[in-house]
């Protein structure tokens, strides 16, 4: 039995998309993607307090987000409904990951809620069952429940796990909130990139099909990416933006570039993880 309990601080790590291709579109409008997700050691954290009134309360609402619409509250409600659980909870969210940054913060928070409350409420749902619940909240939620660095396909629910070398990432945060919907509905978004065989993918292969669209609509993303590419030509955007990143084999090399970052830009270092911190619960 895991030592995680109500006194624990539960991590919700960020992810980076090491590449992201749009390979098609379903009849229902959902885009078919291929990507590799890597977890990094930058994270939000959550704490949970038990309630005996069955209510789900978010103690730390996010600016501009109604509590009922918050992914953490919705995740807890879905788990209650799916399991028939009558327990309640107060959720405390310590937010370190930017909203609209392409780091998966909201999806990761929702996944951690499902994993934590499944454990704390002893509802007994399997990881595949939790992944199905997560998919109703967003396409990126299942990978955080899956818990492994992985090559993802479909709308983000088919996984082929990959072993990734150690790496330190320099992540820059343009001061904009990029709407995922706005990027995916853009008429100039590429939607027919030839698929890659999961077994044949290697680190460094592929780009981000969403990057040019985001750069054209958000000049700050283009500016940060251009600055980073001076030192790391392979730098790219993660997800639908806004954050951009570069991979370095040695942490001191990444730190040397970070030290040159202009005062008007914000960035930080993070190490790649071999698996999600909650992969074992």
Q: Which of 7, 15, 209, 274 is catalytic?
A: 15
pLDDT band at 73 (very low <50, low <70, confident <90, very high): very high
- Report the distance separating Cα 145 and Cα 108, nearest Å: 8
Choose the CATH number for 168-271 among 1.10.3720.10, 3.40.640.10, 3.30.70.890, 3.40.50.720. 3.30.70.890
Angle between helices 127-135 and 105-120 (to 10 degrees): 140
Catalytic (active site) residue 95:
no
Give pLDDT, residue 180.
92
Mean pLDDT of the region 150-170: 93
Give pLDDT, residue 155.
78
Neighbour-count burial of 60, counting CB atoms closer than 10 A to its CB (0-12 exposed, 13-18 middle, 19+ buried): middle
Instruction: Assess contact for 237 and 175: CB atoms under 8 A.
Output: no
Q: Domain-by-domain residue ranges, the chain?
A: 10-161, 168-271
Tokens 């090491």 appear where?
18
DSSP E strand boundaries for the chain: 10-25, 31-51, 56-58, 88-94, 150-154, 158-161, 168-172, 236-237, 244-248, 267-271
Instruction: Assess contact for 158 and 139: CB atoms under 8 A.
Output: no
Give pLDDT, residue 150.
98
DSSP E strand boundaries for 116-258: 150-154, 158-161, 168-172, 236-237, 244-248
Sequential DSSP letters for 30-69: PEEEEEEEEEEEEEEEEEEEEESS--EEESSPPTT--GGG
Query: Taking the alpha carbons of 61, 5, 78, 15 in that order, is the dihedral positive or negative?
Result: positive
Q: Return the CATH fold of 10-161.
A: Ribosomal Protein S5; domain 2 (3.30.230)
Model confidence at 37: pLDDT above 50: yes
Range of weakest confidence among 111-125, 153-167, 238-252: 153-167
| 244 CB neighbour count, 10 Å cutoff | 31
pLDDT band at 2 (very low <50, low <70, confident <90, very high): low
Instruction: Assess contact for 97 and 16: CB atoms under 8 A.
Output: no
Q: What percent of the chain has pLDDT over 90?
A: 93
Mean pLDDT of the region 18-47: 95
Count the alpha carbons within 13 Å of 191 in the hemisphere toward its beta carbon: 14
Give pLDDT, residue 1.
42
pTM equals 0.96
Q: What is the rounded average pLDDT for all residues in the chain? A: 96
How confident is the model over 220-271, as pLDDT tens digits? 999 999 999 999 999 999 999 999 999 999 999 999 999 999 999 999 999 9
- Report the distance separating Cα 49 and Cα 89, nearest Å: 6
Range of weakest confidence among 64-68, 155-159, 220-224, 251-255: 155-159
CA distances from 225 to 28, 87, 221, 265 (A): 33, 46, 6, 11
Instruction: Check residues 27 and 15 and name the one with the higher pLDDT.
Output: 15
Give pLDDT, residue 30.
86
pLDDT band at 275 (very low <50, low <70, confident <90, very high): very high
- Report the distance separating Cα 214 and Cα 88, nearest Å: 40
The SS3 assignment for 117 reads helix
Mean pLDDT of the region 63-83: 95
Structure tokens given for 281: 């619960």
How confident is the model over 76-114, as pLDDT tens digits? 999 999 999 999 999 999 999 999 999 999 999 999 999
Q: Which of 44, 109, 140, 209 is catalytic?
A: 140
What are residue 12's DSSP bridge partners?
Answer: 44
Catalytic (active site) residue 15:
yes
Give pLDDT, residue 28.
87
DSSP classification of residue 275: B
Distance of CA 153 to the CA centre of its chain: 15
CA distances from 3 to 43, 46, 117, 119, 144 (A): 20, 16, 14, 10, 20
């Amino acid at each position: 039995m895991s030592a995680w309990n109500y006194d624990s601080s539960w991590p919700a790590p960020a992810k980076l998309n090491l590449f992201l291709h749009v390979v098609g579109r379903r009849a229902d409008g959902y885009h078919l993607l291929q990507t590799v997700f890597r977890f990094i050691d930058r994270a939000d954290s959550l704490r949970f307090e038990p309630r005996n009134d069955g209510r789900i309360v978010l103690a730390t609402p996010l600016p501009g987000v109604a509590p009922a619409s918050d992914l953490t509250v919705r995740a807890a409600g879905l788990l209650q409904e799916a399991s028939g659980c009558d327990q309640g909870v107060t959720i405390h969210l310590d937010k370190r990951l930017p909203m609209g940054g392409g780091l998966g913060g909201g999806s990761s928070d929702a996944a951690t809620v499902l994993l934590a409350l499944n454990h704390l409420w002893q509802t007994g749902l399997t990881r595949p069952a939790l992944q199905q619940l997560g998919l109703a909240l967003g396409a990126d939620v299942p990978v955080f429940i899956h818990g492994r660095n992985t090559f993802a396909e479909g709308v983000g629910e088919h996984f082929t796990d990959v072993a990734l070398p150690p790496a330190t990432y320099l992540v820059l945060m343009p001061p904009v909130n990029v709407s995922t919907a706005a990027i995916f509905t853009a008429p100039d978004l590429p939607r027919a990139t030839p698929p890659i065989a999961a077994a044949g993918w290697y680190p460094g292969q592929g780009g981000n099909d969403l990057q040019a669209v985001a750069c054209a609509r958000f000049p700050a993303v283009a500016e940060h990416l251009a600055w980073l590419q001076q030192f790391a030509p392979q730098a790219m955007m993660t997800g639908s933006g806004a954050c951009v990143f570069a991979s370095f084999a040695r942490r001191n090399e990444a730190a040397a570039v970070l030290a040159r970052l202009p005062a008007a830009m914000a960035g930080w270092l993070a190490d790649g993880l071999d698996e999600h911190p909650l992969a074992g619960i």
